[in-house]
Structure 1
Amino acid sequence: MAMFRTTVGNMTTSTSTIETPSGLITGNSSLKGHREFLGIRYANAKRFEQPADIESWEGVLNATAHGSICPQVPGVLEMMLGFDETKMNEDCLNLNVFSPAQATSESKLPVLFWVHGGAFTNGSGSLAWYDGGSLANRDVVVVTINYRLGAFGFLGDGNYGTSDMISALRWVQRNISSFGGDAGNVTIFGESAGGSAVISLMAAPEANNLFHKVWSMSPSIGQLRDKNRAKEHETQFLSIAEVDNRDKAAQLSVQDILNAQTKQMAMESTAFDFFSPTANGHGLSEDILAAASASGLPFVVGTNRDENRLWSAFDPKNASATEEDWKKFCVTSFGDQASDAQKIFETVRKGDTPGQLMSAVSTDTGFRQRAISFSNDRLGKNTPTWMYWFTWASPAFDGAVGCCHALDIPFAFDNLEAPGTDMFTGDGADRFPIADRFASEIVQFATHGHPSWAQYDLESRTTLVIGTKTELVSDPEASVRLLFGN
């Protein structure tokens, strides 16, 4: 390994060059004690075609800056934390590696492989929250990736974005030992769409033996779809784009694709599976959840207490909801059980406004109860499963967002000082012990194959509640679980 040091003003930085099976590569050596290799291209891909692995390169690869991000319309997080549309390019299949400064090919450190969220339509592995430096300082190697998004990644049943993830995992198998990682100890983890993506990878035969443990944060399980739904959405997309078939869509400009995608998603505001992994499509099993629940790999899943508030907190209609609106919502959502549901939610969410109660139901419908149901299925197949519940409420936006969707990400990465984070989390000192515990649990799982708390089972339903007071709780909000038939 070669080291080169440069000084710019009062700031001293250095570069580090290592040799990998694919070739020589130069990255940055951080003053915080880790190395980072950024924007490494792992595959080539023509539009609407499967990726081709990049197995080697000539000369020394410069990996000192992030690469292009996949074409997209920015989501909530990108708008809040900063979005540079000039970095968008279809040649976006690149990854980033963060490793301890002293790691060598003999270190055999656990590998954490991150799949970002964003509804399969936006996001990138280079978002500041996903900087793997803090985790790398805990003696793990972190990999964050880009994969194709929206129509580029998930038009029809091609599952191109899923294939990108698998291509990146193959790159890890070939090269990660040069960064100090153990190719035989890879944990995939992701949040939201990334959380459901890592579940779908458990149902991908091509990914067998490419990873060994799975940690899923707030998985959007409802986005996973079947071939009929994929075909329906592909036909709709092609009609909006005014082309007859996928081959003709491949000739459209990037902006035309994004415009058609945006128009399509506006047609059904409650649908979230326009572009997502498709069961029985390319490379995925006929039933994603059944295959994933049968996987014997160690699996951790958790959700946030107020997931839906990321959206509802900024919705004027939700803020002005009345008691009558709440009652009608219960009838629509629960039918004959409306009265029971109303009482249960008003009890477990005492003090919530009507709009917040409606949001709580949506959180359970879209996230928590789906995670519990999937965990129950795994228990029926005797597969190792752990559950957590993230409950720390942010004081930001006058407390309106609570413990909303994505709030846990900077805690998981121990990145509370990343640019823009305090706008979302506030700047209180109480955040730091929570981040330390959350990140420690992820590293513990990656290292040993289990977190520090007991497995989930149908008798005790032991759950680690992570918040102002982190503790083990047996069956939190059991009345809500029973209401949903879990």
Structure 2
Amino acid sequence: MQHTLKPMAASVSLVALAACETTGAGSTAITETVQTSLGTVRGEIVTEGDVSAYIYKGIPYAAPPIGSLRWKAPQPPAAWAGTRDATEWPNRCPQGESSMGAGGPISEDCLYVNVVTTAETADAGQPVMVFFHGGGLTSGTGNSTTYNHPKLPSQGVVTVSVNSRLGPIGYLAHPELTAEGPGSGNFGTMDLTASLEWVKNNISAFGGDPDNVTIFGESGGGYKVISQMSTPAASDLFDKAIVQSGSALVSSDMARAEAGGKSLQASLGASNLAEMRAASWQDVIAATEGAEFRPSIVVDGSVIPAPVREQFETGTHNKVPLIVGANAGESMLQTSVPDMANVHATSGGDTWTYNFTHLPIGWKEEEGCVAFHGLELTYVFGAVPNGLESRTTQFLARGGGCSIGVPEHDEVDFKVADEASKIWASFAENGDPSVPGLVDWPQYSESNDVYLDIGDPMTVKSGIAASYTAPPERD
């Protein structure tokens, strides 16, 4: 199933530019152009190990939500003349500074996607995997070498990473916003839907199939996946979903959300919505420190027509095949996995569950080190050893009882990364994560409480809830 793009190969659908440039470590990057519905973009080739892919950074999927467009539904982006450079990370959306690190400057002009593909022709029809980054709806970015690594695309999929509005810029509800129209509290949710609309209209130019789209996300990104499963506007924009270490099926009623918005207004010292819009994004973010504001999916009767749990329990959500799981060391998140699996399966949705237990050999030998929050991303994206070296992984390692510094890794890590990315790609391709010769992963149901233990070897076991309360077995 793996596809390796030869760095010097000309593509039928991707018009090669004359220039060829050499980057560090002896790798060669060949810039390539793609015609989207709004204009031409020029990306480059990224090579990691024995796999290469085209990457296109910072493609706009909506107009910059600045000035009068702050706290408005995303608007269509403007077309451009000439060729747009797509070789630099776009802006991150407004957020506080984090020790986890990220790529790109911060600006409200941040509604961009990054695309990675190994497809050689526009009619390749490869499955599409759209990734929503984590960060608890308050931080993070899709601008990551892990999320845009060529390994997962080399399994025959096109990946898209999304930047969307966060925190009070993306999830503010306020009585004046409610009076303006639908969407109060759900601007970030609407951004994600707009990114999926861009995929529907443009991904075929990158060799992707617009009618075979999987959305997946980790942590806060898993909650973003839930938001898209709960908004009717996204009902025909994706076909499968993966929630990795996500949230419970929770949402906020409008009264509580508006109270949080008014608390933010008071902390900002603004007398009305107009003054809030005139404030700098830095001041808006800073005002959260003194406010009772928590970003959430907000039940506004339109974007989110009913509480999330109610939608899932009644089967009125966007019911698509779903993988849901967490990592062995995530005690605070693990109760949501069997709950979501039960609710989705009971409503008639195809469901699979997993517990990620693998650790690199250097951490496996440490007392108290467990598969911590976010560790599976390195393996799902096939980003060994890059993902282990990232500041985000190093930051999260502290919480997992693991030492700081790149752990010793071996061929087993590359094996697990290859297998995990194959499984995710198989699910994206046909809605079944089983891979012949690797693993036969049965569906979860109330009467068949099975899950995949993602480690070495990949093993199907029973009792997903108990697996999170018992310490993982070490090989």
Q: How far did 1:292 drift?
A: 4.0
Specify whether residues 478 and 244 from structure 1 end up closer, same or farther in structure 2 by C-alpha distance, changes over 3 A only. Answer: same
Unaligned ranges ≥5, structure 2: 1-13, 174-183, 398-405, 435-440, 470-475
Q: Which amino acid aligns with 1:289?
A: R
Match of 1:206, SS state, is: helix
Q: How far did 1:437 drift?
A: 1.8
- The aligned residue for residue 74 of structure 1 is 97
Match of 1:258, SS state, is: helix
Asked if 1:291 is matched to 2:311, the reply is yes
Asked if 1:15 is matched to 2:28, the reply is no
> Residue 2 of structure 1: which of 1, 12, 15 is its match?
15
> Residue 426 of structure 1: which of 400, 403, 407 is its match?
407
Asked if 1:417 is matched to 2:435, the reply is no
Q: Show CA shifts across 1:5-43 (max 9, x none).
A: 323475532100122232222111234421011011111
Match of 2:151, SS state, is: helix
Q: How far did 1:222 drift?
A: 6.2
Mapped contact 1:200–1:289 kept (Cα < 8 A): no
Asked if 1:378 is matched to 2:396, the reply is no
Q: List aligned pairs for 1:346-425, cutoff 5 A.
A: 363=331, 366-393=332-359, 395-396=362-363, 398=366, 400-418=368-386, 420-421=389-390, 423=394, 424=397
Q: Which amino acid aligns with 2:54?
A: R
TM-score normalized with structure 1 length = 0.79
Q: Which amino acid aligns with 2:452?
A: L
Match of 1:137, SS state, is: helix
Q: Which amino acid aligns with 2:241?
A: V
- The aligned residue for residue 208 of structure 2 is 181
Match of 1:114, SS state, is: strand
- The aligned residue for residue 313 of structure 1 is none
Specify whether residues 235 and 106 from structure 1 end up closer, same or farther in structure 2 by C-alpha distance, changes over 3 A only. Answer: same
Q: Which amino acid aligns with 1:276?
A: S
Mapped contact 2:16–2:31 kept (Cα < 8 A): yes
Is 150-159 or 47-56 further displaced after alignment? 47-56
Q: List aligned pairs for 1:8-407, cutoff 5 A.
A: 8=22, 11-31=27-47, 32-44=51-63, 45=65, 46-54=69-77, 56-75=79-98, 79-80=99-100, 82-83=101-102, 87-100=105-118, 102-156=119-173, 157-221=184-248, 224-264=251-291, 274-280=294-300, 283-292=303-312, 294=315, 295-307=318-330, 363=331, 366-393=332-359, 395-396=362-363, 398=366, 400-407=368-375
Unaligned ranges ≥5, structure 1: 268-272, 308-362, 482-486
Match of 2:195, SS state, is: helix
Match of 1:375, SS state, is: helix
Mapped contact 2:243–2:325 kept (Cα < 8 A): yes
Q: How far did 1:376 drift?
A: 1.0
- The aligned residue for residue 11 of structure 2 is none
Q: Show CA shifts across 1:92-145 (max 9, x none).
A: 001101011x43221110000000010100000002221142111111100001
Is 413-422 or 178-187 further displaced after alignment? 413-422
Q: Which amino acid aligns with 1:29?
A: I
TM-score normalized with structure 2 length = 0.81
Mapped contact 2:451–2:460 kept (Cα < 8 A): yes
Match of 2:252, SS state, is: coil
Match of 2:141, SS state, is: coil
Is 174-183 or 372-381 further displaced after alignment? 372-381
- The aligned residue for residue 359 of structure 1 is none
Mapped contact 2:230–2:304 kept (Cα < 8 A): yes
Mapped contact 1:111–1:446 kept (Cα < 8 A): yes
Between Structure 1 and Structure 2, the one with more helix by share is: 1
* Whole-angstrom distance in 2 between the partners of 1:445 and 1:242: 49
* Whole-angstrom distance in 1 between the partners of 2:197 and 2:80: 16
Q: How far did 1:418 drift?
A: 1.8
Mapped contact 1:20–1:175 kept (Cα < 8 A): yes
* Whole-angstrom distance in 2 between the partners of 1:243 and 1:401: 47
What percent identity do the matched residue pairs reach?
A: 30
Q: How far did 1:203 drift?
A: 1.1
* Whole-angstrom distance in 2 between the partners of 1:470 and 1:274: 38
- RMSD of aligned Cα (Å): 2.4
